[in-house]
Amino acid sequence: MLQELERLEPFRAEVRAWLAANLPADWQQKMLGAEEDDHVAFQKWWFQKLMEGGYGAPHWPKEWGGSGFSFAEQIVLYEEIARAGAPRLILYFIALHHVPGTLLHWGTEEQRRRHLPAVLSGDEIWCQGFSEPNAGSDLASLRTRAEKRGDHYVVNGQKTWSSNAHHARYCLLLARTDPAASKTKGISYFILDLQTPGVTLRPIKQMTGASHFNELFLDDVVIPAENLIGPENGGWAVAQSTLSSERGLSVLELAERMRQGFKLLLADARAPKDGGRVPYEDDEIRRGLVGIYSRIEALRLLVNNQLTSVLKGEAVGVEPSIIKLYYSDLLRDFTELGVSIGGIDAQYLQAVLMGGANETGYWMQDYLYSWAWTISGGSSEIQRNIIAERGLKLPREPQAKAA
């Protein structure tokens, strides 16, 4: 992989120069404490800047308005975006990754033409309606029901943890269309217009003070049959395409951002605190810093090994689960060390930096949010099960017999 990336040094220089010319140096300071509407407006502005530069949809095919970059070019781009400390496009994550990952493989031509150009224009923000109160990690146990009635479906149920649903217009929705079928066989996949009568959103207050997630209530919601993606009762296979689309280069960007975040952690440790205390002079703090740095480098090696396999066209096994689990634990310990270094001053909870990294230097905010990573994208418990069953070939624990 190293040789492939060295060949792209001119492209790397081009990206770096574009970021230097277009990324506002003070964007984080302006967003700190800003109203949510200001965060949303900034996300939209930054997305349009990236599109103008040709970097907004690097993984999309050219025929659908993307850059059509090679996998190696995407690696370079995401590395430079992370190193520059540019905003993460959280508001558009589902639209840019899950929507094309789903529609390009399973959608109809009409669905693609209706939605894909609108995503790249910035007009359509999407959310995901997969998890339910009793079907999060065990997604196949979902209970939201869709009944076919002529040329439409009537949907009733509840979804939860829908990121940015309060800003979205459309939702990728899973619902059960055949309750008599086995868990994964009776599920269908839909496009839901969130402005449809019967849809109710309720933001979920997080311990950080933000309301990034939402509950979604569906009461006799009518979805046209033309909004079905893939075959009826075949939604489980479609969902696997959706989920696999997020397990690519995003983890590379997160690993690089963590490496940049370590610079903030080290600088904070060397800065005098109240009373003249310098945390870096404490042996325990130094041991903690060495441990975190070593784990960050190990994470980068894990990511590089996976990307090398992808570049070679080799099949990827449980590596994404290993990396996701490793990153979640590391992020929690990383930010907890930041709180310890900062002392009392680090206890103050700052406003959310929408689109920032997960290591912003506002350590209490970062630490509290780090726990979300042990759940989102597949909980740590689920990742351990995948590693055990698919990687180590361990048998499943037998179900306890009913008394």
pLDDT tens-digit map of 252-297: 888 888 998 999 999 999 999 888 889 999 999 999 999 999 999 9
Reported in sequence order, the residue ranges of 134-247 that DSSP labels E, i.e. its strands, are 145-149, 152-159, 170-176, 187-193, 199-204, 213-224, 228-229
* Predicted model pTM: 0.88
Q: What is the rounded distance in angstroms from the CA atom of residue 78 to the CA atom of residue 73?
A: 9
CATH class of segment(s) 2-88: mainly alpha
pLDDT of amino acid 402:
46
Q: Using 50, 70 and 90 to split pLDDT, how confident is the model at 78? A: very high
First to last CA, the chain: 56
- Any idea where the domains of the chain sit in the sequence? 2-88, 124-235, 247-391
Can you read off the two tokens belonging to residue 334? 């990383």
* pLDDT one-digit tens code per residue, 192-222: 999 999 999 999 887 777 788 899 999 999 9
Q: Position of tokens 């979805």? A: 223
* pLDDT one-digit tens code per residue, 104-122: 999 999 999 999 999 999 9
pLDDT of amino acid 332:
95
Mean predicted confidence (pLDDT) in 179-197: 95
Q: Using 50, 70 and 90 to split pLDDT, how confident is the model at 147? A: very high
Q: Position of tokens 């402005």? A: 195
Helix (H) or strand (E) holding 126: strand 126-129
Residue pair 67/54 in contact by the 8 Å Cβ criterion:
yes
pLDDT of amino acid 354:
59
Q: Is 246 a catalytic residue?
A: yes
pLDDT of amino acid 399:
55
Helix (H) or strand (E) holding 129: strand 126-129
- Whether the predicted pLDDT of 27 surpasses 60: yes
Select 124-235's CATH number: 2.40.50.140, 3.40.50.20, 3.30.470.20, 2.40.110.10. 2.40.110.10
% residues pLDDT > 70 (the chain):
94
- Whether the predicted pLDDT of 68 surpasses 80: yes
For the ranges 121-125, 136-140, 341-345, the maximum mean pLDDT occurs at 121-125
Architecture of domain 247-391: Up-down Bundle (1.20)
pLDDT of amino acid 210:
77
* Residue 228 burial by Cβ neighbours in a 10 Å radius (0-12, 13-18, 19+): buried
Mean predicted confidence (pLDDT) in 82-87: 91
Closest CA to 96 of 130, 129, 138, 66: 66
Q: What is the rounded distance in angstroms from the CA atom of residue 120 to the CA atom of residue 65?
A: 7
User: CA-CA distances (angstroms) from residue 169 to 89, 250, 268, 318?
Assistant: 17, 24, 41, 34
73 vs 138 pLDDT, higher one? 73
pLDDT of amino acid 211:
81
Which of 73, 246, 253, 256 is the catalytic position?
A: 246
pLDDT of amino acid 305:
87
- Whether the predicted pLDDT of 227 surpasses 80: yes
**DSSP characters over 337-364:** HHHHHHGGGGGS-PPP-TT--S--S-HH
For the ranges 36-40, 202-206, 306-310, 332-336, the maximum mean pLDDT occurs at 332-336
